[in-house]
């Protein structure tokens, strides 16, 4: 995923969007979640012109996603209200709620996993959804390819249980575990708290 709505890490985002995204590079870690919007393999583009073409396609996808209303049809999740009383909260400030417990194994650091997700702002504005693209995000967990809130919310932490394959979890990610004071891509404003519906798909 090379931005604009996926949980990629700032370093990965920066390599994808080149000079145009330097101002947002640090927070780009959020959507390391979607590795390839084009559906191609994870191999690097063969030329700089091809890279620009791929980035352009991704940005169009995100821009389109940002105009869509936050509706349940964009996600396999039932409607979940991100209310404080319904959520667990870690010492890091990350909040979560298991919508559906998985029955498979939990991922380990360094494993390549696949997730479906919908990301939105706290006002309900959806900025990206793999459900809408019908293509899950594949990435390596626990190595900084995605924003820290994703790594922690899926892999687990001292006070956060790891997800299990087949599980669905609502993550409410504070700015310091997302894109911070810089925001990202003109889609995520500075100091934004982000909500993600994340579904950890079984490995085949």
Q: Residues with catalytic annotation?
A: 117, 127-128, 147, 179, 196
- SS3 state at 97: strand
User: Do 58 and 38 meet the contact criterion of CB atoms below 8 Å apart?
Assistant: yes
Where do we find the tokens 């706290």? 122
Residue partners of 63: CB distance under 8 A and separation at least 6: 4, 187
Sign of the dihedral through C-alpha 18, 134, 146, 80: positive
b/e sequence 54-89, b meaning 16+ C-beta within 10 Å: bbeebbebbeebbebebeeebbebeebebeeeebee
User: Do 130 and 35 meet the contact criterion of CB atoms below 8 Å apart?
Assistant: no
């Amino acid at each position: 995923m090379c931005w604009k709505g996926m949980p990629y890490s700032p370093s990965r985002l920066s390599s994808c969007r080149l000079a145009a995204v330097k101002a947002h590079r640090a927070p780009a870690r959020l959507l390391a979640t979607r590795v390839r919007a084009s559906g191609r393999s994870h191999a690097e583009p063969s030329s700089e012109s091809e890279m620009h073409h791929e980035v352009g396609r991704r940005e169009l996808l995100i821009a389109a996603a940002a105009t869509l209303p936050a509706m349940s049809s964009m996600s396999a999740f039932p409607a979940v209200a991100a209310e404080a009383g319904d959520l667990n909260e870690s010492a890091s400030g990350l909040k979560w709620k298991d919508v559906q417990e998985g029955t498979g194994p939990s991922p380990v650091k360094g494993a390549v996993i696949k997730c479906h997700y919908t990301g939105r702002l706290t006002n309900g504005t959806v900025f990206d959804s793999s459900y809408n693209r019908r293509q899950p995000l594949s990435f390596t967990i626990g190595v900084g390819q995605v924003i820290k809130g994703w790594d922690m919310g899926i892999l687990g932490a001292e006070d956060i249980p790891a997800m299990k394959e087949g599980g669905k979890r609502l993550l409410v990610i504070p700015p310091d575990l997302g894109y911070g004071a810089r925001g990202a891509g003109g889609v995520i404003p500075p100091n934004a708290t982000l909500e993600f519906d994340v579904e950890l798909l079984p490995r085949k």
